[in-house]
Amino acid sequence: MARKPSPNNPPCPHCNATHVVKTRFVVAGALAPSEEEATPTVVAQTRRRTQGQQGVFWVSDGRWVYSGAVRRVYRDSHRLGKRGRPALVPMSGVGLTQGVKHRQQGRVVRVVVRQVMGA
């Protein structure tokens, strides 16, 4: 749904239309030879599209690449009053939940849900 641009509802940088978003569900994608290569791009796109909002929750399968990418991308520099490079501090409100499927003879026999990051 498109609306007139306003200070509270700026135009989309991609299509110059103004969209009304009624959900916080964000879709990002990347083409790469493997999931390990695409994941950092997708996580970075999602952070840009959510404009660094607090409370971004991720749900993924049990692959290790997601936890590493989310931990790397969702952190901000924080000056501690000392000289040198500022410390990188994880953003509050970011979470990652993974659903791990256990299979026997190609059939899913159980799914384990684990909280990897956040509350």
- Report the pLDDT value the prediction gives residue 22, as an integer from 0 to 100: 55
Q: Give phi and psi for 102, each to the nearest 5.
A: -105, 130
Strand spans (E) along 1-119: 2-3, 18-19, 57-60, 75-78, 87-90, 95-104, 107-117
Question: Does residue 101 surpass a pLDDT of 70?
Answer: yes
CA 21, 27, 32 angle in degrees (round to 5)? 160
| Per-residue pLDDT tens over the stretch 40-94 | 998 888 888 887 676 788 888 888 898 899 899 888 888 888 888 888 888 888 8
Average pLDDT across the chain, whole number? 79
Of residues 6 and 94, more confidence is placed in 94
E strand or H helix that includes residue 106: none
pTM for the model stands at 0.66
- Neighbouring CB atoms inside 10 A of 61's CB total 11
Sequence-separated (6 or more) residues with CB below 8 Å from residue 11: 5, 17, 18
Domain ranges of the chain: 2-117
| Band of pLDDT at residue 109, cut at 50, 70 and 90 | very high
